Chains A and B, each alone.
Chain A
Amino acid sequence: MSHKKKTSEGFFYRLLAVPELGVVVALVVSAAIFQSFRPVFLSGQVIGSIVQAVTFVSIIGVGQAFLLISGNFDLSVGAVAGLIAIVSGKLMTTAGWPVWLALLAGIFLGGLIGAINGFMVTRAGVPAFIQTLGMLFVSQGMIQVVSQGYPVYPLPKVITTIGDNTSFLNLGWNLPIWIFVCLVGDFVIRKTTVGRNLYIIGGNSEVARIVGINVKKYQLACFILAGSLSALSGELVMASLNAGAPSIGTGWELTVIAGTVVGGVSLFGGVGTIAGGILGVLLIQCVQSGLVTSGLSPNFQLIAVGFILVLAVFLDVYRRKYRNTMRKSNDEELNDQEAVKAKGVI
C-alpha cells in the first residue's frame, strides 16, 4: 500500500489505531508522577514488588483476555486461584501426595471448574455472569470448608525453592512462568487459527457459526484455560508465601477484569490483545504501589482503581468515536441513493 495517503491515513490516525497506546501513555505518565513525588518509586525494590504482584494477577489476566475476546468472562477466577492453593497444599501435606502430583492435580481441578462453567454457559444457557458468580461463591465456601479457616502450613521444602528462587531478580519461578504464559498467549491469539477464530466468535457468534466455526467448543476451551491459569496462579502465590492462605485470590476477579479492560480488551468481545491486557494490569498495580510509596492511606488504592477503570473505557469510547468521524469526513463512497434504499423504500 502506498504511503502517500491523505489525512485519514496520517500518522495521528494510525497512532490512534494502536489500541495499547492509551495504556502505555498512562503507564509512563503515572510512573513519572509517582517518581516526582517520591524518587524511591523507580527503585529496584518497588519495581520488583510491582512485577511480583503483576505476575500473579496477569497470568489469570491472560485466561480472562481469551475469554473476553471470545465474548464471555469469568468472575470466579480469584476464588478458584485461592481454592486451588488450599487444595493442592492439603494434597501435598495432609494427603501426603508427591509435590508434583499435587500441583498437577490442582491445575487439573482448576481446568475442571472452568469446564463446569463453560458447560453451563455454552450448553445449559446460563448467563456467564450468573454461572461464574455462583462459582465464585461456591469456591469461596469451599476454601473455608477445606482449610477450616487456617492456612495450610508448613509446606514441603521443595515448594520454597519455587517461590524463593533468586536467579530471576529474586522473584522466584513465577517470573519466567509468567513471561512464558504471556508470550504463548500473545502468540496464540495473534498468529494462530485458534486466536483468529476467537476474534470471529467474539465479533459475532452467529457469523462464526454460519462460516462453520464450532463456537461452543471454542468457548468451552476458553473457560477451561481460564480455570487452569487461575489454578496455576494460585499455586504460585502459595509457593511465594510458602503457605496455602485462605485469603489468596480474594477480590482478584475484579482487578483482573478491570486490568484487561483498561488494557483495551472489550467487555463485548472480539477486541483487544493479550499485550494490552497485561499492560492494563501493570498500570493498575503501578498506581496502587505508587499510592503506597506516596504514603497515602491504602483505601485510596480502591478509589484510584475505580477512577482508572471508568476513565480508560471512556477514553476508549472517545478514541473510537474520533476515529469514526475522521473516517466519515473522508469517505467518498457513501452513496446517497443507496443509503435511502437501505433504510427507506424496502
Chain B
Amino acid sequence: MPLNKILEVQDLSKSFGNVDALQKVNLTFFEAEIHAVLGQNGAGKSTLVKLLTGLYETKSATGKLIMGGNEIELRSVSDARNKGIAYVPQEIEIVDNLTVAENIFAGQLPTHHNIFSLKNTIKAAQELVEKYELNLPVSSFASNLSTAQRQTTMIARGLASNPSILILDEPTTSLSKEDAEVLARTMRTLRTKNVTMIYITHRIPEVMNLCDRATVLRDGKVVLELDKKEFSSEKIINSMIGRSLSADGNVKKEKNKSKDILVLENISAERKGPQSIALTNINLKVKEGEIVGLGGLVGSGRSEVLDVISGRLPFTGKMIWQDKVLTSTNPSEMRKNGIFYLTEDRKREGLLFNLNLKKNVTAGSLDLFSKFGFLNENKESEIAVASMKALSVKTKNFSSEPSNLSGGNQQKLLLARALIANPKILLLDEPTKGVDVGARQEIYRIIHEVQKSGTSVIVVSSDLDELLALVDRVIVISNGTTVDEFERADGDESRILKFGTGVSK
C-alpha cells in the first residue's frame, strides 16, 4: 500500500479551564486508509473530532495540523469542508419529506443563478452516487429509505464536498448488525476511491474487521497505535481502561441475601422513532437494598431498560414487582409502587424551570403536606428545605429558580425530589453527567446512604470506574439484550467492555 501522508496532527493540545481535553496528541493519517480512533467517554475523541472538523477553531488549541505538507488552520466547519475534511455526525439527520438528492445536498444545494432546480440536484446526486458506488435511489423520498440507506445518505452528504478525509462519528450506534455490515461495505468501497476515513467508535470487532490502523486515546493522550497486523482486542481494551484504574477497583462487598424486589424476564420493548433501540430478551433481578449497575455502550439500550421499569415504555414479557406479575404499566402506577426515576436529561425531563427550588423538590410528593387536597405551604417549605440541606444543595435562597444552580446542585435537587418520595427503587441514568468532581463525590455518598436505608438503586453510567465503585452487581447490555451479569468482586472494566463492545458473547 502506498503510504502518502494526508493529514498530520502534531502536538495538538486543548484545555477547557483547568481540564486538559487533549495533551500533545500526535497522529498521522495516510491516504486511503480507515483509521479507527477509540477511547472511553471523556478520552478526548470528541474534542479531537471538533478540532479536525473546524467546529473548534485551530487557533483555540496549541499544536499544528499539516495537510499535504502545508500547515493549515481551520476557522469553521465550512472552512474545513473547503479544505477537504468532511464530517458524518453520529445522529442520522434526514428530512423525510424531501428527496434523497435534496437531503444529500442539504445546506449546499446546487443552484443556477440562485434558482433551485430539483432536476439539477437529482442529476448532481446521481453523479455523486455513481462516482462512489453508493446504493441510493436519489430521486425518491427519504421517507422510503431503510435505516442503512439513511446512514448512506448521511455519508453521501459528507461526500458531496468531494473531501479527501471523511470523519465518521460512531456511525453504528443506532444500526443493527445487518445495517452495520452495509456501512462496512460502503466504507471499503470508499477506500478504493482514495477516501481516507477516520472512524470514531467504541465497537472493537468492527475495528478488527474493517480498519487499517487504530489509535486509542485515554485522558487526552494517545496511549496506543496499532497497525492491522498488530490488532488485538485485549491490547485495545487494556489501553482504553489504563492499568492505573484497577487499584481502587478492589472494593469487597458482601453478597446481598435479601429477596428480589423486581424481576424482568424476557422483556422486549420498542419505542417508535428513528434513534431508538429495540430491547429483546432483557433479564434482570434487583434485590432489596442492592445497587445494580447497567453497563454497556451509549445506545446499547441501557436507558430504555429504565424507561420500561419506570412505566414510560410499554413492553412485552414478564415483570414481577414484589411477587406480583405486572403485564402493563404506566408511570403513575410505578411511581405509586415506589419507583422513582431520574433521567439522564435533567433539563428536559427533570427540572421545572417555572417553579422555585422548594416546589421542584416536592413535585410528585404533594400528599406529604396536604390534607383533602389543601396544601400546607409552611410544612412544604420545612420538608423541602430540610431535604435540600441534607443533600447540601448549595444556594443562597431556597425560593430561587433551578436555572441558578450549577449542574451538580441541580442533580442534588432532583435527588432530594426523589428521596422525599421515599422510593423502594431509585432509577438513576447517568447521575453525574455534567457534574464537577466535588459534587460527584457527594452524589456517590448520597447513593450509598440511600442504599443503607434499604432502597434499591439501579444506576446507568458510561463511566466504568464510577459504575464499578458504586454497585454491588453489574448487568451488561449490548444491542438491546442483557449479555452478562456478575457480582462486583467477580469482574472489572474489561469484562464490561468485552461484553459491551461485542468482543465476547
Contacts and interface: CB of A to CB of B under 8 A. Distances in A.
Contact of A342 (B41, B335, B407): B407
B61 to A, nearest CB: 12
Interface in A257-293: 266, 269-271
A331 B18 CA distance: 20
Contact of B350 (A1, A207, A266, A269): A207
A211 interface: yes
B366 A193 contact: yes
A211 B46 contact: no
Contacts of B405: 333
A319 interface: no
Interface residues of B, number: 57
A203 interface: yes
Nearest to A206: B349
B42 A345 contact: yes
A203 B352 contact: yes
* Among A211, A334, A341, A344: residue with most chain B CB under 10 A: A211
A192 interface: yes
Contact of B354 (A9, A203, A335): A203
Contact of B373 (A193, A200, A202, A337): A193
B434 interface: yes
Interface in A297-346: 327, 331, 333-338, 340-342, 344-346
Contacts of B42: 345-346
A204 B395 CA distance: 23
B143 interface: no
A194 B374 CA distance: 9
Interface string B2-40: 000000000000001111010000000000000000000
Contacts of B363: 200, 207-208, 211
Contacts of B18: 337
Interface string B400-413: 10001111110000
A337 B404 contact: no
A199 B47 contact: no
B422 to A, nearest CB: 13
Contacts of B433: 346
A205 to B, nearest CB: 10
B117 interface: no
Given A202-B354, A212-B364, A345-B47, A340 B312 contact: no
Contacts of A334: 406
Interface string B324-358: 00000001101110001101000011111111000
B173 to A, nearest CB: 14
A344 B355 contact: no
* Among B19, B349, B354, B366: residue with most chain A CB under 10 A: B354
A194 B399 CA distance: 21
B409 A333 contact: yes
B397 interface: yes
Interface in A190-223: 191-194, 196-197, 199-200, 202-204, 206-214
* Among A5, A212, A333: residue with most chain B CB under 10 A: A212
Contacts of B335: 210-212
Contacts of A335: 406, 436
A191 B375 contact: yes
A333 B331 contact: no
Contacts of B397: 1, 5, 9
B436 A346 contact: no
Contact of A333 (B341, B349, B394): B394
B275 to A, nearest CB: 17
B157 interface: no
A115 B194 CA distance: 64
B53 interface: no
B347 to A, nearest CB: 10
Contact of A327 (B47, B340, B373, B404): B404
Interface in B277-333: 310, 312, 331-332
B226 interface: no
Contacts of A346: 41-42, 46, 433-434
A14 to B, nearest CB: 10
Contacts of B16: 336-337, 340-341, 344-345
Interface in B402-440: 404-409, 417, 433-436
A209 B312 contact: yes
B21 A344 contact: yes
B202 interface: no
B456 to A, nearest CB: 18
A210 B343 contact: yes
B233 interface: no
Contacts of A340: 16-17, 19
A233 B353 CA distance: 34
Nearest to B47: A345
Given A197-B366, A336-B17, 11 more contacts: A193-B370, A193-B375, A196-B359, A200-B355, A202-B354, A207-B363, A211-B335, A211-B364, A331-B404, A345-B21, A346-B433
Interface of B: 16-19, 21, 41-42, 44, 46-47, 310, 312, 331-332, 334-336, 340-341, 343, 348-355, 359, 363-367, 370, 373-375, 377, 394-400, 404-409, 417, 433-436
User: What 7 pairs between A and B have smallest CB-CB spacing?
Assistant: A211-B364, A212-B335, A340-B16, A270-B354, A342-B434, A203-B354, A336-B17
22 contacts: A1-B397, A1-B398, A191-B377, A193-B375, A196-B366, A199-B354, A199-B359, A200-B355, A200-B363, A204-B348, A204-B349, A210-B331, A211-B335, A211-B365, A213-B364, A271-B354, A333-B394, A333-B404, A333-B406, A337-B17, A337-B19, A342-B407
